Amino acid sequence: MKSIWVINGPNLNLLGIREPGIYGSLSLQSIEDHLRKVADNAGIDITFYQSNHEGAIIDRIHEAMGQADGILLNPGALTHYSYAVRDAISSVKVPTVEVHLSNIHARESFRHTSVIAPVCAGQISGFGATSYELGFHALLDVLERPNS
């Protein structure tokens, strides 16, 4: 059975409370519950993790090496400046899809650049909680490709 780890960065524990006009009204738990059903239907083992601490996220990415087949990553604000998270993704060689609830390219200019996207299989943003499900299916597609 394939294993996907979903890793969420800073402030995503406040979903449903924090700026619902931008991030939606669903809690992170609600998003995880839905994604767990999607994974169960696909026969995929799924694990969730959230931290507000960059080093803890890096440690979790490192732990994925040899344990997870793929990573679905919402790095939150770390997207725009964390070369350490970028290097962790690049180092572990676990296929990763970056997801965002909001369309980062339609927001403040500092959010337009992801330092993480270049080392990911792809990026999905702007579809609210559905971004996670779209990212999950995209990651499954990546995992079925030869040499993934």
Model pLDDT for residues 26-69, shown as the tens digit of each residue: 899 999 999 999 999 999 999 999 999 999 999 999 999 999 99
Question: Which active-site residues does the annotation give?
Answer: 23, 100
d(CA 63, CA 56): 10
Three-state DSSP class for 66?
coil
Structure tokens at 10: 């800073």
24 pLDDT more than 70: no
Residue 116 to residue 88: CA distance in whole angstroms? 10
Instruction: Enter the pTM of the model.
Output: 0.92
Q: What is the mean pLDDT of the chain?
A: 92
Q: Which residue has the tokens 């996670």?
A: 132
Give per-residue pLDDT as tens, 68-82. 999 999 999 999 889
* Domains in the chain: ranges and CATH: 3-144 (3.40.50.9100)
Q: What tokens appear for 47 in the block?
A: 């694990």
